[in-house]
Structure 1
Amino acid sequence: MPGLFAEVRDGDRVWRGAAGCADVDTGRPVTADMRHRVGSLTKTFTAAAVLRQVESGQIGLDAPVGRYLPKLVPGERGDAITVRMLLNHTSGLAEYLPYAYPSLKAFPVLADTGPQSFDDHRHTRFDPVELIEMGVTAPAVGAPGGTPGVYSNTNYLLLVQLLEQVTGTTAEDRITRDVIERAGLRDTELPTGSHVDGPHSRLYESWFGMIDPPRDYSVYDMSWVGPSASLISTVADLNRFYRLLLAGEIVSPSSLAQMQRTVPVVSQEGRLIEYGLGLHPMEGSDHPGQGTFWGHGGTVWGGGALAMTRADGKRQMSLAVNMQRWNRLDPSGRPQPHPIDEALATLCRVAMYG
């Protein structure tokens, strides 16, 4: 792992740490205040913006998405899939990424995938409507409302379109006004270009050892995920956001309760997890009775982040790493255990429980 940085909070006590380098060529060190692409942690922000519209009566949480976006999800599916099902990944809509990135077409069979499309699309400006169509027209991965759900970025690109439809402005503007500015976040933004402004690390993608040495993808057009996974933030801002969210200061307490109603969902890694509305609970199995942590994880090409906040809001950790998919594949095509996995797990245990 080239570099990692994190912030841990326990009430008013704060620890920040960084180790390693932000650039393997120059040896420039990572620092705890660096701005970072945080991937699907964006989904919590998007979900919060949607729930703000639910609170104002502009969106019905259990209304059919076809009421708002009949051209994007037409016919019976548009009538059957609700806004809630998009938020908690129980819509049955497939992931569009293997169709947008041809070298990933065999996903989730990792051994038959390749990283070639990453370079092909470094500067591609994707049309979100076209990405949504790829997911909607692909074979369904489940029935609307059925469980376990299947994690899919198609759901959140539709929520982005929903926000724009009901507010008459861009989702970036709505998320910025209703969530980022409401939380008082100074180093968080949804990017419009391919660069990360301010101090940041390069982002090294390994793709399960198929890119050796790992390649830098820190400059990248993020329209391939848009406001479902393109957020740039800092570990301090992430902790502030989740602390305020769980205190009922970003959305109402009743909306927060909806966000914390979970269903079983198959993650992109193929694990069965509990998932709410843009929030993911994490229980410390080796510390029973010490509380549930809520948050989200996220990855982009080369970068990863994780944020966890205890339900009472007092104990928090956010971390960022500047390499992804470090595991090699075993003969059956499954990621092999790696020392980095255990090191991260140990860091999380110490950070959460002291």
Structure 2
Amino acid sequence: MPRLLSALFAVLVAVASPAATPSLDAAALRTALDAAVVGARDQGYSGTLLVAQNGKTLYQAFVGKADRERGVDVAADTRFGLASTGKLFTTVSVLQLVEADKLDLDATVGRYLPDWPQADVRDKVTLRHLLTHASGLGSYFNAPGYRDKRAQLLSVADHLPLFANEAPAFAPGSGFAYSNSGFMLLGRIVEVVSGEDYYDYVAKHVFAPAGMRDTGYYGRDGKADKVAVGYLAPTGSETNDGWREWRGGPAGGGWSTPADLLRFHDALMRGKLIGEAARARWLTPLATPGEGGLRGSGLGALVLAAGDDVVYGHPGGSPGTASEFWASRDSGLVVVLMSNMAPAGRGDTPPLAMTVARQVFDAVVAAGGPRFGPPPRKRP
């Protein structure tokens, strides 16, 4: 798991409890974060940071260039890649359909996709397994020929042949393996039971009710306005153009802004996306089977107890993209970091972004928030 994830858990848990929040020194927080932003800028970092509580912005910063070649600064309306943070939208979609009695989390894939070719996935993997990364499936990113086909993957159905014959690596429910293929499969199930294209469903049932006007996916032409160009290093001009060919979908991708992710949290808490019972089910920390799981895993998100409160969210990382969204259920605190700078390779957060997150954590501590205990375990 990226160390930035650990740092942001620490930030949120530090101020999540009702006892800690009133003692937070807002002026000290701003001063410390200003210093962190200056340091990040001096090191070539580019991105944005938002800290808010109960819908009110406590701190926001814009650092570096959204497009170095054209000299475009990062601004409030700059859209950043989401990577796996976008899995949250698939989770909400599934929970909406559970509320509508169209899906059952404990039903197998075969109930909704009876023709799925791999028998163990069809007959033994449940929707709950898919949401909790306990299915035994891996990532279609690793399928032979994926990179060559990426620009032609324009629908959820286009992705399915990449892993349709993949067998679970372990008995479903007995272990943990982070699974992009599992979330793509969930997206297909959303399409089948709703009768809507995944992209249309999410736009209509998640983005619209939340008022998320700056969140979406690349069009079939691979273009979108105001999206930051992704870079693979703090200096230099190597971009993530190859990854921009990928449209994004149920497993992540697409783009958003910190303000829109704040709207997402607000809509979730106000019952605009799912009801109270579904929200309570979602924001419940779960035990994770196996040795490789993430402490705090939940249904389609990472969920961590913080005293009487709960912290939830999801990291995202891909070449040229680093995204972190974390929020507390009761205190209303939201922290969002988004960057257009990340190295190629694994989807872990780059060292500079980790440094920025640690400085955010230190700023909260300096403002009166207590430190939190040991970090979650790393993703295997």
Distance 1:313 1:52 in 2: 24
* 1:98 matched to 2:121: no
Once the two structures are superposed, residues 264-298 of structure 1 have per-residue CA deviations (whole angstroms, 9 ceiling, x without a partner) of 3799xx77343212221257xxxx75954211111
Instruction: Give the secondary structure class of the aligned counterpart of 2:324.
Output: strand
Compare 14-23 and 241-250 and name the one that shifted more. Answer: 241-250
Inter-partner Cα distance in structure 2 for 1:351 and 1:124: 45
Selected match of 1:297 from 309, 315, 334: 315
CA 271–167 in structure 1, closer or farther in 2 if over 3 Å, else same: closer
How far 1:130 moved relative to its partner?
5.8
Which of 248, 268, 272 is matched with 1:249 structurally? 272
For residues 121 and 2 of structure 1, the distance between their equivalents in structure 2, rounded to whole angstroms, comes to 32
Q: TM-score, normalised by structure 2?
A: 0.74
- Give me the whole-angstrom Cα distance separating, in 1, the residues matched to 2:259 and 2:265: 10
1:173 aligned residue (189, 196, 200):
200
Q: 1:59 aligns with which of 98, 103, 106?
A: 103
Q: 2:297 aligns with which of 258, 265, 275?
A: 275
Aligned to 2:363: 350
Higher helix share: 2
SS in 2 for 1:54: helix
Q: Could you list the structure 1 runs, at least 4 aligned residues long, displaced by more than 4 angstroms after superposition.
A: 126-130, 288-291, 351-354
Aligned to 1:34: 78
Aligned mates of 2:242, 2:361 — CA distance in 1:
25
The match for 2:51 among 8, 16, 30 is 8
- Find the residue that maps to 2:103 and give its secondary structure: coil
**1:265–1:272 CA contact under 8 A, matched in 2:** no
Aligned CA distance change for structure 1 residues 60 and 168 (closer, same or farther; 3 Å):
same
Equivalent position amino acid for 1:226 in 2: G
The answer to whether the Cα contact below 8 Å between 1:6 and 1:320 also exists between their aligned partners in 2 is yes
Q: SS of the residue aligned with 1:204?
A: coil
- For the pair 1:321 / 2:345, whether they are aligned, the reply is no
Aligned to 1:145: 173
1:122 Cα deviation after fit: 6.2
Instruction: Give the aligned residue type for 2:294.
Output: L
**CA gap 1:243/1:203 in 2 versus in 1, 3 angstroms:** same
Equivalent residue, structure 2, for 1:185: 212
2:263 and 2:366 map into 1 onto residues whose CA distance is: 19
The answer on whether the counterparts of 1:302 and 1:323 sit within 8 Å (CA) in structure 2 is yes
CA RMSD of aligned residues (A): 3.3
| Mapping 1:93-242, distance limit 5 Å | 93-100=137-144, 117=147, 120=148, 123-125=151-153, 128-129=156-157, 131-138=159-166, 140-147=168-175, 149-195=176-222, 197-205=224-232, 214-217=238-241, 220-223=244-247, 225-242=248-265
CA distance in 2, matches of 1:75, 1:121: 26
For 2:126, the equivalent position in structure 1 comes to 82
Q: Which amino acid aligns with 1:78?
A: R
1:17 aligns with 2:61: yes
Distance in 1, matches of 2:350 and 2:225, equals 34
Give the number of equivalent residue pairs.
321
1:312 is aligned with what amino acid? Answer: D
Higher relative contact order, structure no. (Cα contacts within 8 Å, ≥ 6 residues apart): 2
Structure 2 Cα separation of the partners of residues 243 and 290 of structure 1? 20
Paired AA for residue 95 in structure 1 = S
- How far 1:91 moved relative to its partner? 0.8
Shift of 1:140: 2.8
Q: Structure 1 counterpart of 2:204, which letter?
A: R
Is the 8 Å Cα contact of residues 21 and 28 (structure 1) preserved in structure 2?
yes
Is residue 95–residue 152 contact of structure 1 (8 Å, CA) maintained in 2?
yes
TM-score, normalised via structure 1 length: 0.79
- Cα contact 2:342–2:350 (8 A) shared by 1: no
Corresponding letter in the other structure for 2:72: R
Are residues 289 and 52 of structure 1, via their aligned partners in 2, closer, same or farther at CA, if it must alter by over 3 Å?
closer
Distance 1:181 1:169 in 2: 15
Residue 332 of structure 1 corresponds to which residue in structure 2? none
Distance 1:162 1:73, change over 3 A: farther
**Per the alignment, in what secondary structure is the counterpart of residue 359 of structure 2?**
helix
Inter-CA distance 184–86: structure 2 relative to 1 (3 Å threshold): same
Are 1:94 and 1:136, in contact at CA under 8 Å, matched by a contact in 2? no
Identity of aligned residues (%): 26
User: 1:316-343: per-residue Cα shift (whole Å, max 9, x none)?
Assistant: 111210111389x9xxxxx999454222
* SS of match in other structure, 1:309: strand
Q: Deviations over 1:46-90 (max 9, x none)?
A: 111111111111111111111111222543432211111111111
**Runs of at least 5 residues in structure 1 that lack an aligned partner in the other structure:** 103-116, 330-334
